[in-house]
Structure 1
Amino acid sequence: MVQRFTTRSAPVGAAALASALAVLAPAIAAAQQPERVEFRSADTAGTPLTGYLYRPAGPGPFPAVIALHGCSGLFSTVDPARLSERHDDWAERLVRQGYVVLFPDSFGPRGVGSLCRLRGPRPVTVGRRSRDAEGAAAWLAGQPFVDPGRLALLGWSHGGTSVLSTTGKDPPRGAVVRAAVAFYPGCQRFLADSKWRPRIPLTILIGSDDDWTPAEPCRRLAQRFPRMIDLVEYPGAVHGFDAPAQRVREFTGLAYTASGTGTAHVGTEPKARQEAIKAVKLQLDRALGRR
C-alpha cells in the first residue's frame, strides 16, 4: 500500500507529542566521531569510495539511511577534518532514533572539491552518484549490524537530485531500499525525461522561495506521479532551510540557478527546519517499520 504523507498530522496523544517535541531539539554533540569505511561504487569502474558511518549502540540489526551530500561536499568549510554541521546534526539525530547512517564521499576519492561553481561537463554526475548510492546500499546490506530489508535514501541539493536518479532504478540485489527523501533537488531533468518514474515512495522537501533549485518543476513532477511522490513545500523557505543555524545569505557565481544569473539565497528557515525534522522522522519510521 502506498503511504501518503503530510506535515499536517492529526492530534496525537501525550506520549507521541512528547516524542515529537523531542525531535525538534538541536542534536547534541557527537559522543564519538564517525567511523571511516571503504566500499566500491556500483559504477562500471567499481571506484573505491570512502564513507563515514554513524551507528547506534548495540549489535542491531538496525535500519539504515544512505545520506548523499550536496554540491559543496561532505566537509565543513571551517574545519575540513569534520563533516559539515548540517550533516553531523542529521546523523546524530537519526542515530538517536535508532538508524545507522552512512555518508558516501563521492568527491574526495575522485579528487573533486566542489561542483557548485563548475560549469560545463562535471567529473561527478548525478548518474554516477546514484551508482555510489547503490554501492553503499550493497555494502550496508552485507554488515551484520544492518537489516538489509530496511534501507532508505536521504539527500540534499545535488545529493537530493542523485536520490531522484537512484529511485528511478532497481535497487541492488540483496538490499531493499524502501523509501527516499530528497531535500531541494533539481527536478527539471526528470520532468523532461518521459522514461523516468520512481520505483519506491519518494518525499521531496523544498522551499517555496528556493531560487537555486525551484519548486515548480518538483510540483509538476509530483502531479505526474501522485501515488509515488509526496511534495512538502515550505512557504518562505530558501535553499538549505534545514541547516542548524545558518543566516540567509546570497551566493554568487553558482553554475546553475533558477534565474540563470548564478545567484541564489541559502540559509535556515526555523519553522521549515522544525517541520522537516518531523517529516523525515515520520517518513523513515513508517517506511522502515519503526514504531
Structure 2
Amino acid sequence: MMFWRRFRVVVLGRRVLTPSPMRLRLTALFLTLLVSAAHAAPVPQQVDIPLSSGVLHAQLYKPEGEGPFPAVIALHGCGGLSGHSDSVLPRYRDWAERLLRAGNAVLLPDSYGSRELGPQCRVKEMHVKARRERVTDIAASRAWLMKQSWVARDRVSLIGWANGASALLWAVRPQSAARDLSPDFRAAVAFYPDCRISAGLGWSTRVPTLVLIGADDDVSSPPACRQMVDGARGRSALARIVVYPGAYHDFDRANTPLHAAAGGTDVTAPEHGHLGTDAQARAESQKDVAEWLAR
C-alpha cells in the first residue's frame, strides 16, 4: 500500500510530498503508544535479604536517581504479597506506587513466599507468626536498607495491613529496639491490626505510630485498638488512632464491593467478618498516611 500520494502544487516550481490520511493515523497511533509507554506502571525489582536461616525475598520500588530517598517497609496481610501472575498484588501495588510518586522507596518483604508458604488467613497453626518471624523480617529489611547508599537512613518508616500491621505493633515496642547505632524508624502506620493481644499486654511504642481502622470492622477490633492506644499515651512515643465511621475491614482496598468473608472460598480472606472499599475512608486514609510520613 502506498502511504504517500503524489500531486502537483506550484511551490517555487517544485513537486512536494504530502502525507496521506493513513500515514497520519499511523503516526498518531505511534505517538500514543510512546506516551503510554512513558506513563507505564513502575516495575518492582526483586531483592534478596539475608536472614539467619534462609533468604527473605522482597520487591523494591525505587525512585529514579541516586537519592538519598526516604524509604517505607510495607508489610502484607495474611493473604500474602503476590498472586499467580502478580509479584505484588494490586492492593499493595496501589499503595507502593502512591508512596513512590511521593518520593519514597518502597520495600515489600514477602514473609510467606520466602518460606514457600501460601496464604495464611485460614491456617489454624500459622508457621509464620506476627510477633516472631515477621518481626525478624522487619529487622532484616531495615538492616538491608541501612546499607544502601540511596536511602535516607533517618527516614525509614513502616506501614502494614492486618497481619502485617499486627507485626508492626510488635516491631515498634521498646523491647524490640535494634541494638545497632543506626537511626530508628521514623514513623509507623498500621491499617486495621488485631490489637487484642497488644492491648492486654500494655502495649507502648518507641516510634510515632498511627493506627487506622474502620468503626464497623468486625474482623479486627476497633474497641481493642482504642484501648491499646489510649493505654500507651503518656508512657511512650506519640500514638494516635483514627476510626473511620461506617468503614469495614479492607476499607482502603480499591474496587472491592462490601461482602461477607464467611462461607467464601477465598483463601486470601479472613474466615469471618466483612470486607470492602469505603471511598471516603480510603481517600481520608491516603491523606492521613501522607501527612504522618511527612512529619
1:55 aligns to 2:62 (yes or no):
yes
* Counterpart among 233, 243, 263 of residue 226 in structure 1: 233
Confirm or deny: 8 A CA contact 1:191 1:221 kept in the other structure: yes
Deviation at 1:32, TM superposition (A): 2.8
Among candidates 226, 237, 242, match of residue 252 of structure 2: 242
User: 1:263, 1:35 → 2: CA distance?
Assistant: 35
Give the deviation of 1:82 after TM superposition. 3.3
Which structure 2 residues correspond to residues 115-154 of structure 1 after superposition, within 5 A? 115-119=120-124, 121-127=125-131, 128-154=133-159
The residue aligned with 1:212 is 219
C-alpha displacement of 1:46: 3.7
* Distance in 1 of aligned mates of 2:149 and 2:70: 11
Aligned-partner SS, 1:126: coil
User: Offset at 1:66?
Assistant: 0.2
Matched residue, 1:178: 186
Q: Cα distance, 1:87 vs. partner?
A: 0.5
Q: Cα deviation per residue 1:70-100 (whole Å; 9 max; x = unaligned)?
A: 0000124xx4333111111101110110000
Q: What TM-score, normalized to structure 1?
A: 0.80
User: Aligned partners of 2:177 and 2:162: how far apart in 1?
Assistant: 22
Matches within 5 A, 1:62-141: 62-76=69-83, 79-119=84-124, 121-127=125-131, 128-141=133-146
**Residues 27-46 of structure 1 aligned to structure 2 (within 5 Å):** 31-41=41-51, 45-46=52-53
Residue 285 in structure 1 maps to residue 291 in structure 2: no
Give the Å deviation of 1:40: 2.3
SS of equivalent residue, structure 1 residue 177: coil
- The correspondence for 1:193, drawn from 197, 201, 225, is 201
Shift of 1:108: 0.6
Query: Does the C-alpha gap of structure 1 residues 106 and 67 become closer, same or farther in structure 2, counting only changes over 3 Å?
Result: same
Inter-partner Cα distance in structure 2 for 1:218 and 1:30: 39
Structure 1 runs of 4+ aligned residues shifted over 4 Å read: none
Flag the 1:172–1:182 CA change in 2: closer, same or farther, 3 A. Answer: farther
Give CA deviations for 1:206-231 in whole Å, capped at 9, x if unaligned.
00000100101000011111252100
> Which segments of 5 or more consecutive residues in structure 1 lack a partner in the other structure?
1-27, 255-260, 287-291
Secondary structure in 1 matching 2:294: helix
Q: Distance in 1 between matches of 2:274 and 2:82?
A: 20
Percent identity at matched positions?
39
Q: Identify if the C-alpha distance between structure 1 residues 155 and 30 changes in structure 2 by more than 3 Å, giving closer, same or farther.
A: farther
Greater relative contact order: 1 or 2 (C-alpha under 8 angstroms, separation 6 or more)?
A: 1
Match in the other structure for 2:6: none
- Is contact 2:121–2:271 with CA below 8 Å preserved after alignment? no
1:175, CA displacement in angstroms? 4.4
CA deviation after TM superposition for structure 1 residue 29, in Å:
7.1
Post-superposition Cα deviations, 1:220-259, rounded to whole Å, max 9, x if no partner, equal: 01111125210000011011000121111111269xxxxx
- Structure 2: 5+ residue runs without aligned partners? 1-37, 265-269
The alpha-carbon distance between structure 1 residues 138 and 253, as it changes in their structure 2 partners (threshold 3 A), is farther
Question: Which amino acid in structure 1 is aligned with residue 281 of structure 2?
Answer: A
| Equivalent pair of 1:134/1:172 in contact (CA under 8 Å) | no
- Paired residues, number: 246
Q: Determine the C-alpha separation between the residues in 2 that align with 1:140 and 1:244.
A: 29
Structure number with bigger Rg: 2
Task: Map Cα deviations across residues 160-198 of structure 1 (whole Å, 9 max, x no partner).
Answer: 00110101110362242121100000001111114x421
Using the alignment, how far apart are the partners of 1:176 and 1:30 within structure 2? 34
The equivalent of 2:171 in structure 1 is 166
Is the 8 Å Cα contact of residues 161 and 186 (structure 1) preserved in structure 2? yes
Q: 1:71 to 1:123 in 2, by over 3 A?
A: same
Distance 1:29 1:133, change over 3 A: farther
TM-score by length of 2: 0.79
